[in-house]
């Protein structure tokens, strides 16, 4: 503990980074995301690592809204098919498991929403909707965006806020009763 760490200065930098990343996401991509969700028969989410944690939080809120949502890999997840939506994420746009699952999802007739910092990568280009998050990932930053935070933290934090922003829009569109959302929250805690 040789030098004093600037907690407040670093937190301000983090918030500025997050604000820049969040507000740089294109509104038409978020409109497309919410349209896909509203039009889906069932929603499936898939991601790995911290991106998975963000997707799990999103899946929980979609369930609270009364939507049919499944987490890929859970033993209760049914087969995906026409009318379904697969929401996935790879900050770098490259992930072997996402590639393998894309080979199942697309031929099954489901639509795909893909979150990434690199929409020009081959995997996101196969998606029906791409939501580009301009943030540092494990690979690097989109358009050389650099963060004071390690690895893909900025991408993942932006993703969580985007998911919550999407939930607010879905509440606006679907008009669920607040008490109904609360009733859907687990009582097995």
Active site residues: 156
Alpha carbon of residue 158 to chain centroid = 9
Structure tokens at 189: 């805690």
CA-wise closest residue to 71 among 50, 53, 56: 56
Handedness of CA 184, 105, 153, 168 (dihedral sign): negative
Q: How many helices (H) and strands (E) does the chain have?
A: 7, 5
Burial group, residue 171, by CB count within 10 angstroms (0-12, 13-18, 19+) = middle
8 CB neighbour count, 10 Å cutoff: 8
Please enumerate in sequence order all residues whose Cβ is within 8 A of that of 117, keeping only pairs 6 or more positions apart, or say none.
Answer: 91, 92, 93, 132, 133, 134, 135, 136, 137, 141, 142, 145, 155
């Amino acid at each position: 503990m040789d030098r004093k760490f600037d907690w407040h200065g670093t937190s301000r930098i983090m918030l500025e980074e997050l604000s820049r990343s969040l507000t740089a996401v294109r509104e038409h991509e978020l409109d497309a995301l919410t349209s896909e969700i509203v039009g889906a028969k069932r929603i499936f989410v898939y991601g790995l690592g911290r991106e998975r944690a963000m997707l799990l939080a999103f899946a929980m809120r979609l369930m609270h809204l009364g939507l049919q949502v499944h987490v890929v890999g859970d033993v209760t997840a049914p087969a995906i098919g026409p009318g379904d939506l697969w929401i996935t994420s790879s900050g770098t746009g490259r992930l072997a498991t996402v590639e393998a699952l894309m080979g199942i999802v697309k031929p099954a007739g489901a639509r795909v929403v893909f979150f990434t910092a690199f929409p020009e990568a081959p995997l996101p280009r196969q998606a029906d909707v791409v939501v580009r998050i301009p943030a540092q990932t494990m690979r690097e930053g989109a358009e050389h965006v650099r963060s004071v935070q390690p690895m893909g933290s900025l991408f993942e934090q932006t993703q969580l806020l985007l998911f919550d922003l999407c939930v607010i829009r879905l509440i606006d569109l679907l008009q669920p009763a607040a008490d109904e959302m609360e009733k859907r929250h687990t009582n097995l805690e």
